Amino acid sequence: MTAVLLDRATRAAIEALEATDDIAFGARLLANTPTHEGRDPDLLRRWARTATEFGAALDPVATTARIVESDGGLARGLLARYTSRPVPTVELFTDTLALADELAGRLGWRHWYPAGSLRAAAIAHETVHEQLHHGPAKAALRRSLGHVVLRAGRHRLYGHVAGADEIAAHAHARAVCGLGRSPLLLTAALAAAAEAAEPPYGTRHGSPHASPHGRKK
């Protein structure tokens, strides 16, 4: 595992993250999700709050998914992943989780993120995706967000809010694992630390916005 070495600027940037509240992190996640580019920041914040409350209120359920652990999360910029096929599986990336755990200790955030709690949070997080994918909770989340895309008399069609399920998953993980702050805070800190430590994660195949090599057609 890579030790967390933070220069002064990175450490200051991470400490500044503490001042951002958990709902703001949710709104930031939504703002990063395509289809929300032109949305009012207040609306994003309202959706983030609703999704947070929805996720926190979800009944804890034990995952039925297979749990596997592997390395290589840092290279891909991932902490955990849920895949529904061939069998529902929650993949935990041990290197990223270990680094996040170490970072929490180094930043003095242990009271928010007790040792080992992130592994449980990752499982709880992915369980929500499993729940939203297979169960009726997805429709309930959509209704609670209240994004009306079509109205005909008394009838309303509620639209999908991309990214809301992710916020719900984080809020659920925080609630059931007893974390002091949303896992999104630690995720943001980890992203800043990883970016400062080495070439940007997730760029193994080049930047998404890099000019593609090759030529026409």
Partner 1 sequence: MGVVILLVMAAGVAAMLTRKLPTAFALVLLAVVIALLAGAPATGENSVLDTVLQEGAPTLAVTMIAILLGSWLGKLLDETGIAGTLVRKIVEFGGDRPVVVALGVLAVSTLVGTVTGSAPAAMLAGIVGIPAMIAVGIPKVTAAGTILMGIAAGMPFELPIWQFFSTALELPVDTVRGFMMKLFPFALAAAVLFVLVETRRRGVEHTWSLKSASAKPTSRRERLGDAPWYALLTPLVPLILALGLDVAILPSMLAGVLYALVTTTRPGGMNKRLLRTLYGGFEVAAAPIVLFVAIGILLAAVKLPGAVEALEPLVKAVSPQNPVLFVVVFTALVPLCLYRGPLNVYGLGAGIAGVLIAAGIYPAAAVLGLATSYNQVFGVSDPTSTQTVWSAQYAGVTPQQVMARTLPYVWAVALGGFCVTAATYL
Q: Where on the chain is the footprint of partner 1 (CB under 8 A)?
A: 25, 28-29, 31-35, 37-38, 76-86, 96, 122, 125-126, 129, 133, 138-139, 142, 147, 149, 157, 159-163, 165-166, 169, 183-185, 187-188, 190-191, 194, 201-202, 205-210, 212-217
Minimal CA–CA distance to 121: which of 160, 159, 176, 83? 176
Q: In this complex, which beta carbon is closest to partner 1, that of residue 28 or of residue 106?
A: 28
- Phi and psi at 149, nearest 5°, equal -110, -15
Helix (H, G, I), strand (E, B) or coil at 150: strand
Q: In this complex, which beta carbon is closest to partner 1, that of residue 114 or of residue 159?
A: 159
- Residue 1 CA to residue 101 CA, distance in Å, equals 11
Q: In this complex, which beta carbon is closest to partner 1, that of residue 138 or of residue 156?
A: 138
Minimal CA–CA distance to 183: which of 80, 32, 76, 72? 80
Question: In angstroms, what is the minimal distance from the CB of 216 to partner 1?
Answer: 4
Q: In this complex, which beta carbon is closest to partner 1, that of residue 9 or of residue 162?
A: 162
Question: In angstroms, what is the minimal distance from the CB of 190 to partner 1?
Answer: 6
133-142 LR contacts (CB < 8 Å, sep 24+): 133/82, 133/84, 134/84, 134/88, 137/58, 138/165, 140/54, 141/51, 141/54, 141/165, 141/168
Question: In angstroms, what is the minimal distance from the CB of 62 to partner 1?
Answer: 18
Question: In angstroms, what is the minimal distance from the CB of 172 to partner 1?
Answer: 12
Question: Residues with Cβ < 8 Å from 204, sequence gap 6 or more?
Answer: 75, 76
Q: In this complex, which beta carbon is closest to partner 1, that of residue 81 or of residue 110?
A: 81
- End-to-end distance of the chain based on CA atoms, in angstroms? 42
Question: In angstroms, what is the minimal distance from the CB of 48 to partner 1?
Answer: 12
Question: In angstroms, what is the minimal distance from the CB of 59 to partner 1?
Answer: 19
Helix (H, G, I), strand (E, B) or coil at 171: helix
